[in-house]
Amino acid sequence: MAEAEQIKPRTLPYVSAIAEGVRTVMQEQPDAFVAGEDVAGAGGVYGYYTGILQEFGPERVYDTPISEEGIVGLGVGAAATGCRPIIDLMFMDFLGECMDEVANQLAKMRYMFGGAATLPVTMLTMAGAGASLAAQHSQSLEAWICHLPGLKVCMPITPYDAKGMIIAAARDDNPVIVVLNKMSLAVQGEVPEESYTVPLGEANVVRPGSNYTIIAFGRMLTEALKAADKLKELGVDAEVIDPRTLQPFDTATVVNSVKKTHRAMIVHEAVRFGGFGGEIAAQIQEEAFDYLDAPVARVGAPFSPVPFSPALEQHYVPNADRIVEEAKKQLGL
């Protein structure tokens, strides 16, 4: 019994894995610092910066004014002059406050300086609905930033990936936006104590399958796995892929799966119209059109702001039942 306990894998909640990733970066990189609203004294609105001020001191952990443009501008300038900042954007919705800094400075400066300036900026931000935070604090806007050449964008949803991708992002000499999910903070998962990275640009086949492919990212990975269990009862053996990184996107893993299964569905929490799922569908038809036995299906949120009402919000966010319903239509079941 004692031996079994010793080799039992360590588990952490998602929020603690994020915190451990940030602390690992700060320990490994003396030029790294953290800046954002309430990250120092309050430990961040989600709690994953708790204790970081006491551990690394006020010269490396900064509470900023309530100015997202200033936060991103600080990150750009500091990175261009030799630091490796971790900047915090409390809600992804606040990209609207700093989009010029993100789109015209963060994404373009390395290109416009001919590579002479590096921009090792790691931005952590929170996306997703489900907490009744209403239309201005609940959006999934990954399609905005994936459209900007010069940025890398990842959406880790497991504790293991959260820690590993934060470390990988901070080691990259390009700006990386790590999109986290506020409704997954308590989700438990295995996380090694040592430092490790999850490579940016590599998808994860979470559940192998033989005759149906589901590509799901963010919190929708959990719903896709539930849907795969339900589809199994209908004789559908679904392969579930978590892209993890949206920019650059691992096209090869998705295409190879579709060539095997001949059918595909993409699931994301963002609004379906104009969402990143359309890009994935386009890549599938460009690379694997002759292998498809049905059009690529997409599941996303309706074309509406996120409602405040808990009942309406629950209806708004895609879930396993909606995935199964759409799959049955596609498969003619």
Q: Which residue out of 37, 68, 97, 142 is catalytically annotated?
A: 68
To the query of whether residue 147 is one of the catalytic residues in this protein, the response is no
To the query of whether residue 68 is one of the catalytic residues in this protein, the response is yes
Q: Which residue out of 20, 37, 101, 137 is catalytically annotated?
A: 137
Nearest C-alpha neighbor of 302 from the set 288, 287, 315: 315
User: The tokens 């949120």 sit on which residue?
Assistant: 301
Q: What angle do CA 221, 292, 316 make, to 5 degrees?
A: 35
Q: Distance (Å, rounded) from C-alpha 29 to C-alpha 75?
A: 16
For the CA atoms of the chain, what is the radius of gyration? 20
DSSP 176-243: EEEEEEGGGTT-EEE--SS-----TT--EEEE--SSEEEEE-TTHHHHHHHHHHHHHTTT--EEEEE-
Contact 26, 53 (CB under 8 A): no
Q: What angle do CA 268, 273, 275 make, to 5 degrees?
A: 45
Nearest C-alpha neighbor of 121 from the set 143, 140, 102: 102
Q: How many CB atoms lie within 10 A of CB 17?
A: 28
Catalytic residues: 68, 137
